[in-house]
Amino acid sequence: MTDDDIRLAAAADVPAVKAVTDAAYDRYIERIGRAPVPMLADHAANVAAGNVFVTGDPVIGLVVLEVHEDHLFLDSIAVHPDAHGRGVGRRLLHFVDARARALGLPEVRLYTNALMWENQKIYPKYGYEVVERRVDGPYDRVHYRKRLD
């Protein structure tokens, strides 16, 4: 898989976007005591807005991105559990960096639930630094940024 294999999601991809997101985040429901926010997202609206990029046929991974004036926000990254260990997440994270650079944005931001400790081990390996930890409603989140110098 290359970055060329990552494409803008189309309306026909919405069921797969939901299925991959649910499969990727389902394991966290019991741990955090509620459904993670990506599972509650309006996937059709995100796809229609041009915020979702997918990879695989069938879809095995995706990112949901939001463009802001001074950064690219990585709202969600999901890899189907059946595709773990195949470099899908790594390719998606590299795509996010490339997308931000193509848009002329100096950094990528994201957050993860504090109880998703696996993510807190992954993001620093890809150049993300912790900015803050704060509670947003019922979610305890660790916020990250990656400067694209």
For residue 11, what are the domain limits? 6-108
Does the residue 60 lie in any domain?
yes
Q: What number is the average pLDDT over the span 57-68?
A: 98
Tokens representing 82 are 């059946």
User: What does pTM read for this prediction?
Assistant: 0.94
- Residue 132 has a CB neighbour count (10 Å cut-off) of 10
**pLDDT digit string, tens, across residues 17-59:** 999 999 999 999 999 999 999 999 999 999 999 999 999 999 9
Does the residue 89 lie in any domain?
yes
- Residue 59 has a CB neighbour count (10 Å cut-off) of 20
- pLDDT greater than 80 at residue 4: no
Which CATH number belongs to the domain containing residue 85 in this structure? Answer: 3.40.630.30
**pLDDT digit string, tens, across residues 80-115:** 999 999 999 999 999 999 999 999 999 999 999 999
Does the residue 33 lie in any domain?
yes
CB 25 within 8 A of CB 35: yes
Q: How many CA atoms lie within 13 A of 47 on its CB side?
A: 16
Does the residue 35 lie in any domain?
yes
